[in-house]
Amino acid sequence: MELDARFFRREAGRLTAALTRLFGVHNLALAEDVTQDALCRALEVWKFRGPPPNPSAWLMATAKNRALDVLRRERTARTFAPELGRWVETEWTLRSTVDALFAAEAIQDDQLRMMLSCCHPRLPEEAQIAVVLQVLCGFSVKEIASAFLETPAAVEKRVTRAKKALAGSKTLFDLADAGELAARLPVVHRALYLLFNEGYHGASPESAVRVELCQEALRLVALLLDHPSAQTPATRALAALMCLHAARMPSRLDDAGDLTPFFEQDRSRWDQTLIADGWRLLDASAAGTEVTAYHLEAAIAGVHACAPSARETDWGAVVRLYDALLALRPSPVVALHRAIALGQQQGPEHGLAAIAAISGRERLEQYPFYAAALAEMELARGERARARARFREALALARNPTERRSLERRLAACDPPS
Amino acid sequence: MSQFVFLYRGGMPADTSPAEMQQQMQRWMTWLKELGEKGFVKDPGQPLERGGKLVSGKQKMVTDGPYAEKDLVSGYTLVEAKDLAHAAELSLGCPIFTYGGAVEVRPVAKM
């Protein structure tokens, strides 16, 4: 049987979540060891004749047996999960308690608990994301570092710090505490949003890596959607936003792995299933009184997703949504996107004027897409020389070969066809 | 054709990531499958557990085995090859070399 390429990684996250619940969050390192051990055994055994018919159950049983050994051996030397207390202390209840913890629904909740615990508001966002990726998604420090173009030492430091905070928190997040959950959700949303964005717009030159980050964000947001207290309108809006953006991924990269500008994308390659999911979630998110930035960003992505071409897009609606987003969360990047939409609706002169009016515009100057946006507008109004100069500025700021090649192609497009 | 045993020594380093483990497993399966399709595999063999006992001496002393990680036999495969040189050549594609392991190639004695 053929395993999904993410199988080991995903199972690692599931096992560690269940084992941490069993051992207690202060024994996270022990849980990770048992997970690693189970995966090693799987590798050793499966490499000869392939994985068994139910590889997930096999891994689970292996980890469970290892966990029982550890609990029996170290019951007197260590304290395990305080909330399970006596249930794991006596042989009478040990096995049934462990069995219950490894049931599918329990593991689903364990992952949610772990995610909420990792997204502790006192941790910097990049530490939250790094520890979620390591503990819940099975990425190694080296893999996270290469996805974020950082040194393994920097990521290691972040993960260590986050795990220390996690271990110090004594217990995992309590899903039954509705007040705490409501307070923690925005932090989790933000971390997942940043994770998704890193995948979508990120610096890693390898598109496969970035796709994986987006997929992880989608999988983690689905954990929130599945839980009655976590499936809030904001959660749905965030999930809608991810679906509607992810739908465009197949057309963002051409066969050579180069970025295709939004306006040139082949829309027949957009994923219609994801678009339908996104719209369904966006509809469901229109409840309650709060309109979050996720609602607005999802709605913008929704307008694009249902437009037959860039030209036939309801740019007026896009501008209005950006106006609302700016009112909610003022930022030069959002203002730049609004100006681009305005340029499409009313013409490049208006777009350029809107860019000139952005407050905090100097903060955009290191962002390659700022110069590129100016270049596109100059090109649209026939100022080829200015467009070329702006594209060269953008090129000098490009963060990876993919961005560079895409900008080089736009630069070449400034020359009149001979 | 004669029979040979491949004894695999050494395992993955402890800090191997889940994704790397899965790739490694895939490489092993592909390697064994290709050897099998060429008719060189008599029996893909079995993995061996890490723990064990060593029974030795006249006193039949039973001690906990094994041994240094790198010498540990982690599994075996029974292959068919023309001669020892050919068998050794067949082992060259084994993924164990990428993580510092070794393959011991031993002819099965003919009765």
CB < 8 Å & 24+ apart, contacts of A378-382? A378/A348, A378/A352, A379/A413, A379/A414, A380/A343, A380/A347, A380/A348, A381/A347, A381/A348, A381/A349, A381/A352
Contacts of B20 in chain A (CB under 8 A): 140
CB contact under 8 A, B18 and A42: no
Collect all residues with Cβ–Cβ distance below 8 Å to B63 and sequence separation of at least 6. Answer: B53, B54, B56
Alpha-carbon distance A202 to A307, whole Å?
25
Contacts of B13 in chain A (CB under 8 A): none
Collect all residues with Cβ–Cβ distance below 8 Å to B88 and sequence separation of at least 6. Answer: B105
Alpha-carbon distance A203 to A200, whole Å?
9
Domain boundary among A210, A231, A252: A231
Q: How far is B13 from chain A (nearest CA, A)?
A: 10
Q: Is the pLDDT score of B92 beyond 90?
A: yes
Contacts of B77 in chain A (CB under 8 A): 48
Alpha-carbon distance A186 to A298, whole Å?
16
Residues A389 and A410 in one domain: yes
Residues facing B6 on adjacent strands: B77, B105
Flag whether residue A47 sits within 8 Å of chain B, measured between CB atoms.
Answer: yes
Query: How much is the pLDDT for B66?
Result: 65
CB contact under 8 A, A44 and B44: no
Residues A14 and A82 in one domain: yes
Residues of B with CB under 8 A from a CB of A: 11-12, 14-22, 24-25, 28-29, 32, 44-47, 74-75, 77
Chains A, B: CB contacts within 8 A come to 65
Domain coverage including residue A407: 365-418
Q: Which residue of B19, B32, B74 is in closest CB contact with A9?
A: B19
Residues A86 and A155 in one domain: no
Collect all residues with Cβ–Cβ distance below 8 Å to A274 and sequence separation of at least 6. Answer: A243, A244, A246, A247
Contacts of A34 in chain B (CB under 8 A): none
Domain boundary among A184, A203, A231: A231
Residue A149 lies in a domain: yes
Residue A291 lies in a domain: no
Query: How much is the pLDDT for A1?
Result: 64
Query: How much is the pLDDT for A75?
Result: 72
Residues A84 and A120 in one domain: no
Flag whether residue A2 sits within 8 Å of chain B, measured between CB atoms.
Answer: no
Contacts of A39 in chain B (CB under 8 A): 18, 21
The residue of chain A with its CA nearest to that of B22 is A8
Low-confidence ranges of chain A (pLDDT < 50): none
The total number of structural domains in chain A stands at 3
Residues A98 and A5 in one domain: yes
Query: How much is the pLDDT for A208?
Result: 76
Q: Which residue of A47, A139, A140 is in closest CB contact with B25?
A: A47
Q: Is the pLDDT score of B87 beyond 90?
A: yes
Residues A71 and A146 in one domain: no
Alpha-carbon distance B92 to A25, whole Å?
45
Alpha-carbon distance A192 to A118, whole Å?
12
Residue A281 lies in a domain: no
CB contact under 8 A, A8 and B22: yes
Calculate the CA A65 to chain-centre distance: 33
Alpha-carbon distance A260 to A258, whole Å?
6
Residue A246 lies in a domain: no
Three-class DSSP category at A106: helix
Residue A36 lies in a domain: yes
CB contact under 8 A, A43 and B29: no
The residue of chain B with its CA nearest to that of A8 is B18
Alpha-carbon distance A183 to A180, whole Å?
5
Query: How much is the pLDDT for A122?
Result: 87
The residue of chain B with its CA nearest to that of A142 is B17
Residue A189 lies in a domain: yes
Domain boundary among A231, A253, A288: A231
Query: How much is the pLDDT for A168?
Result: 84
Q: What is the domain partition of chain B in residue ranges?
A: 2-107
Residues A114, A135 contacting (CB under 8 angstroms): yes
Contacts of A42 in chain B (CB under 8 A): 21, 25
Query: How much is the pLDDT for A88?
Result: 65
Contacts of B74 in chain A (CB under 8 A): 44
pLDDT in tens, A152-175: 999 999 999 999 988 888 788 888
The residue of chain B with its CA nearest to that of A50 is B29
Q: Which residue of B15, B18, B74 is in closest CB contact with A44?
A: B74
How far separated are the first and last CA of chain A, in Å rounded? 55
Residues A95, A64 contacting (CB under 8 angstroms): no
Alpha-carbon distance A66 to A85, whole Å?
19
What DSSP character marks residue A205? S
Backbone phi, psi, residue A215, to 5°: -65, -40
Query: How much is the pLDDT for B12?
Result: 80
For residue A399, how many other CB atoms are within 10 A of its CB? 15
The residue of chain B with its CA nearest to that of A45 is B47
CB contact under 8 A, B28 and A48: yes
Residue A299 lies in a domain: no
CATH top-level class of B2-107:
alpha beta
